[in-house]
Structure 1
Amino acid sequence: MEASAKNSSLIIERSSPTVVLPEHETPEGSISLTSLDQMAPMMMLYVYSFDRSDSNVVDVIKKALARVLVHYYPVAGRLARNSRGKLVVDCQKKLGVPFVEATADCDIENLGDERLVDPDALDKLVYRDPMQHILEVAPLLTAQVTKFRSGSFILGIALSHYIADGVSTMNFMNAWAEIARGKPLSIVPCHDRTILKSWVPPQITGPYDEFVHISDVSNMTALYEEQQFVYKALHFNAEKLAALKRMATKDEQVTSKCTNFVALAAFVWRARSIALNMKLHQQSKLLLAVNFRSRLRTPLPDGYFGNTVVWPCCLCTKGELIEEPIFASATRIKKAIESATDSYVQSRIDYYDNNRLGGLPVDTLLMSSWTRFEYGSTDFGWGEPRFATGDIQRQNCLFMTDGREKGIAVVLGLPLSAMNTFEKLVCDLNDA
């Protein structure tokens, strides 16, 4: 599905936001953010679609939010800076979560592909606080329940990436849903972020390719500025994934050594570089999101609430990328993922404590897989949801579960001409 303006006629009536506070008293003081948390200055927007409900759906979800905030109390706080100028969550400033009730004039099916919500519809399904750009005042979470005709509804949230990554968001949402169903929490949150504190003295083992400056020798910046930018969700069914795994494995008979993620990442990186018409000597950087929760010598608690992702890097020229067999690209990716060890993670934490990634140039691709997220567990009492996202950064590429075809949906954005070329390369897989 292309994220276009086709839903611009969607009419939604919103109530004024009300503030939801934790149902009981919660700890005060402040919670320090790790250097990894402070690398994520953005709001993440998520949409959960449910096919049925009843008259008390808003009341149930709202009351459950007040109860889950007792366990996830930092979400009701606000950001602040400590004496060192570092960001913390001020848990004493309990300004709560803005909550909005809304109604739509159509059926939920009118929104189209559930994997990617177009920007106009997203603005109407997710409430954005007018103070969201003022760091110390902006809520860390907003929630909106939109009821559609025929009983379906959507829960749209905006959650600060400063305080939660994808896994933490999933745990929070599932806990919220469990409370709505009258169940105890299956995962108790852990708010001790000192587990991932920087070391003194720092233990930095760089250099790191992700910080290498790349020049836009292909003038891709002009392409991005001059052409319409479009997002699409491209579907890779089981047959296409099997074909990619054969291509990404040196011995085509041993595909078990190559995961779907590695094979698909190698193809997408290669195809995107071709689609953008990069010059052969243009360097291309691939950053891979790796969740390190289970990779540390002492694994993090299951309920650790924060950011636990590092971004190992692959770096080469477009010429190297397209001239080498695809299994060589897959090997690069596999080695990068495997490099995310305990010492690697600590080194990154220490490095980020005093260094920041600058703006990402167009020759950089950030790739994340959400295929293992258990969004089906976010059942508030009316069945499993369909999950979608939106407002994706231009350099981001997401892999999401495609339940209809038992495959993977690749969500990314490109200038229009590049997207047309990219789609053709995907279609050519049918002949592979």
Structure 2
Amino acid sequence: MSCSLSVYEREKTREEFQVRVKRKEKVVPIHHIIEHRLPLSNLDLLLPPEDVGVFFYYKCPNYGSRFSSFGQLVSTLKTALAQALVHFYVFSSEVVHNSKGEVELMCNNQGVEFTEVYADVELYDDLNLYNPDVSVEGKLLPKKNKQRNVFSVQATKLKCGGIVVGCTFDHRVADAYSTNMFLVSWAEIANSKPISMVPSFTRSLLNARYPCLYDPSLNEMYVPISSLTLGKNELLSSKHEPLVSRIYHVNAKEIDYIQSQAEGTKLESFSAFMWKLISKHASITEGNPSIGSSRMCKMGIVVDGRTRLGNKGNCNKQKRLISSYFGNVLSIPFSEKRICDLNSKPLNWVAQEVQKIVEKAVNNVHFPDLVDWIEVHRPEPCLAKIYSSGTDDGPAFVMSSGQRFPISKVDFGWGKPMFGSYHFPWDGNAGYVMPMVSSTENGDWIVYMHLTEGQLKFIEKEASHVFNHYKLSR
């Protein structure tokens, strides 16, 4: 159910919501692997040292023969986690550096920090999902040691008996696809089922070619950090208007209508809709709302390369390996358009420009080329150029996709989640938008946004019929 939250309700949550740590311990794999170092792939090395959160809300279980208390639920989570870490041992590893200064993983069975928490908040009446920076960050998501740990877990019991399971992971080690694979496997083990996909850590799937070859256009998509005007620390610490996080509910009929106007896929159409909104806000802040300025507005789209790499050589074994590959297999092509064009052109024109962005990365050569491009620049740290945007040269944001978000499969034995979302409040200047499927499974979306407060206020006003504040229904 969606509804508007009053200022009083938001302040009430902010002032009264307290958490108390009951227990903290390490969960280690039940079977230890031989200690070894695992290098990150070239594609992993493109990611900044940022943590990503994912969390799930469950209503109060009907305690019975299997689960008689919250303690038994936690015990099930820990036992299943210890078994899952045998397969997903990188989550039980330590972040280290090699002689070149590049990040690697010391696979040493160090375990995952598991925190058990009590939160003095009601699931339905008090919990403010609209503002996760207040209600989720540092409360329902675990904090982890960024310098060493890869993964951490928190189980939270709410005052009403509801449960929140939250995880925080190092984005350099896993993308959303990999984390989804782990979450599903963890739930399957908790229900005494065999895991449906055994992860692969075969780094040779992403080895560079010899000699390295790549299209020169990659120089416009990715950039060595040393070539930027800002240093690495300045890049990841915005001096401009800070970004804040919001979570919205979008009705399926609104998504369908946007798609009918844009004439693209749902994600392409929604991306075009967001691009126009961000652009229109920029033109209004510059005092020319009717047309807009000649400045540029940039949008990047996260593209998963697994299907493209799986087509290499048309080998079934290759397809199986890459489909189960654990790590980052992402590219972020982007484009910039004049704000005046984005404002004046119809939505279907913008959707066609979105399609052109995607086409840059959905051919069979883009990802091998990108791996080679990174190899040529190693050990120099590099990143997607869109992440260095969003300051004086015009607004910029990245559109991701959570259409594979497995919310209905993250059932540990006491029912499916009522709600789930990713939380990625990164420190750069470019915004971030991630639409995910809703637990209702009726075509509705949950949309996580990390944009400036001015952009968010404008979006809520301009598209109030699309973006609803989210509140759980009983």
- Quickly name the TM-score band, shorter chain normalised: 0.7 to 0.9
Give the C-alpha shift of residue 75 in structure 1: 1.1
Does structure 2 retain, via aligned residues, the 8 Å contact 1:178–1:380? yes
Q: How does 1:266-345 map to 2 (within 5 A)?
A: 266-277=272-283, 280-296=293-309, 297-298=311-312, 299=319, 300-340=321-361, 341-345=363-367
Aligned-CA RMSD value: 2.8
Q: Which runs of 5+ in 2 are unaligned?
A: 62-66, 230-234, 287-291, 313-318, 468-474
What is the rounded CA distance, in whole Å, between the counterparts of 1:57 and 1:186 in structure 2? Answer: 23
Mark the CA change 1:73 to 1:428 in structure 2 (over 3 Å): closer, same or farther. closer
Q: How does 1:10-409 map to 2 (within 5 A)?
A: 10-40=17-47, 41-53=49-61, 54=67, 55=69, 56-91=72-107, 93-110=108-125, 112=127, 114=129, 117-129=132-144, 132-134=145-147, 138-208=148-218, 209-211=220-222, 230-249=244-263, 258-277=264-283, 280-296=293-309, 297-298=311-312, 299=319, 300-340=321-361, 341-353=363-375, 354=377, 356-357=382-383, 359-362=387-390, 363-385=395-417, 386-393=419-426, 395-404=431-440, 406-409=443-446
What is the rounded CA distance, in whole Å, between the counterparts of 2:373 and 2:169 in structure 1? Answer: 26
Mark the CA change 1:11 to 1:234 in structure 2 (over 3 Å): closer, same or farther. closer
What is the rounded CA distance, in whole Å, between the counterparts of 2:353 and 2:241 in structure 1? Answer: 32
Give the C-alpha shift of residue 407 in structure 1: 2.3
Does structure 2 retain, via aligned residues, the 8 Å contact 1:286–1:314? yes
Residue identity matched to 2:33 = T
Give the C-alpha shift of residue 214 in structure 1: 11
Aligned residues: 409
What is the rounded CA distance, in whole Å, between the counterparts of 1:99 and 1:231 in structure 2? Answer: 25
Does structure 1 retain, via aligned residues, the 8 Å contact 2:13–2:127? no
Residue identity matched to 2:282 = L
What is the rounded CA distance, in whole Å, between the counterparts of 1:361 and 1:6 in structure 2? Answer: 36
Give the C-alpha shift of residue 12 in structure 1: 1.5
More deviation, 154-163/294-303:
294-303
Structure 1, residues 180-225: CA drift from partner, whole Å, max 9, x if none? 111111111111122112223222102244348999xxxxx9xx96
TM-score after normalising by structure 2: 0.79
Residue identity matched to 1:347 = D
Give the C-alpha shift of residue 165 in structure 1: 0.5
Does structure 1 retain, via aligned residues, the 8 Å contact 2:205–2:322? no
Structure 1, residues 56-101: CA drift from partner, whole Å, max 9, x if none? 001110111111111111111112222333322111x332111111
What is the rounded CA distance, in whole Å, between the counterparts of 2:423 and 2:11 in structure 1? Answer: 14
TM-score after normalising by structure 1: 0.86
